[in-house]
Amino acid sequence: MTTSSPRSALAALLALALAAFVQPLAAKTLKIATVSPDGSAWMKVLRAAAADVDAATEGRVKFKLYPGGVMGDDAQVLRKIRIRQLHGGIVTTTVFGDIYPDVQIYNLPMAFRSLDEVDAVRKALDPLLVAGLAEKGFVAFGIAEVGMAYPMSTKPARTVADARKLKVWLPQGDAPAARLLEAFRIAPTPLTIGEVRIGLQTGLIDTVAAPPVATVPLLWHTRLKYVLDLPLMYIYGLFVVSESNLHGIDAADREAMLRIMGEATAVADRRNRADHDAARRTLANQGLEFIRLTPAELDDWRGYVDKAPERWVEVGMISKPMYTKLIEVLAEIRSRGVERTIGTAPQ
């Protein structure tokens, strides 16, 4: 009977340790939910990116997608992220109102007068918002434009006084939208996104404010007749995952995932901008009438929201430094005097 020498025993232990070290890491599947319909442009981009991540990480990082609101609305998605039923989601900014309020900065009512202003502000502030979310424990792959929310109704309305007679939808739990309608002294009807179409069918509501690119796939436009050509609020989504849910992904795989999903979010952002005009044309082709405001009527609408930024700062919906940064960028772009207008009725 022979016995192993201390040296051979040590070599065997090192070999076992090395074998364990080089074993492939277990696959990490990230569950991502969104209200975006399956088959939408955004979902097609996301599915392609998920396949690219799978290939780039040799199957170590995978994405399982839950589109169409099957995991609930944005607030429910965030709750499920927190209890780890989901790893992340594509959600609107309002769900972060209590976590990182500054991410709502672009929601300020009637803050932008042109697409150039939107682009200039986002170039300056997007990195700050992504960094702010990281401090709160969320990794943001990026910010994707949905578009400007326009009032659309079954009845014509040109003035704020007209709008007060309508049955206006308020997205349930949407604090920025609630503040906007409060500024106009409009008493809204809160509903979830899933309840809007039924609300229009039954007459519970007769007016929504939403981007055309969202209105068309949700088929709300089939129940509407008029579009007030007045961009009330810039709507955008955040593609986020909880930092705690990324544990176990090594540095190289994480870098590949961030790069690929960041590029995908940027593609969706650009595509939504391009789809904006097409969606407006669809509304016009479906027979919706675009109502253009006179300069005096436009000034009247703006007069009601002039003090909105100050109120948002006062109640903590945005911080003073972030608002100051927004104003600085807007002042600089407006000094150039060259703008692409946001609202132009389709020809």
DSSP for residue 67: -
From CA 111, how far away is CA 322, in angstroms rounded? 14
84 phi-psi bin (left φ>0, alpha ψ -120 to 50, beta other): left
| Confidence band, pLDDT 50/70/90 cuts, at residue 8 | low
From CA 127, how far away is CA 323, in angstroms rounded? 15
Partners of 144 in beta bridges: 237
Cβ proximity of 188 and 181 under 8 Å: yes
Q: What's the pLDDT score for residue 306?
A: 93
Q: What's the pLDDT score for residue 193?
A: 86
Nearest residue to 211 (alpha-carbon basis) of 343, 32, 74:
343
Partners of 191 in beta bridges: 171
Cβ proximity of 179 and 317 under 8 Å: yes
pLDDT tops 60 at residue 338: no
Average pLDDT, the chain: 89
User: Which pTM value belongs to this model?
Assistant: 0.85
pLDDT tops 90 at residue 339: no
What is the CA 287 to chain-centroid distance, rounded? 29
Sequence-ordered list of residues with C-beta below 8 angstroms from that of 146, at least 6 positions apart, any chain: 92, 211, 213, 214, 235, 236, 237, 272
For the chain, what percent of residues have pLDDT higher than 70? Answer: 90
Structure tokens at 282: 């669809």
pLDDT tops 50 at residue 1: no
Q: What's the pLDDT score for residue 340?
A: 52
pLDDT digits (tens, 9 = 90+) for 70-88: 999 899 999 999 999 999 9
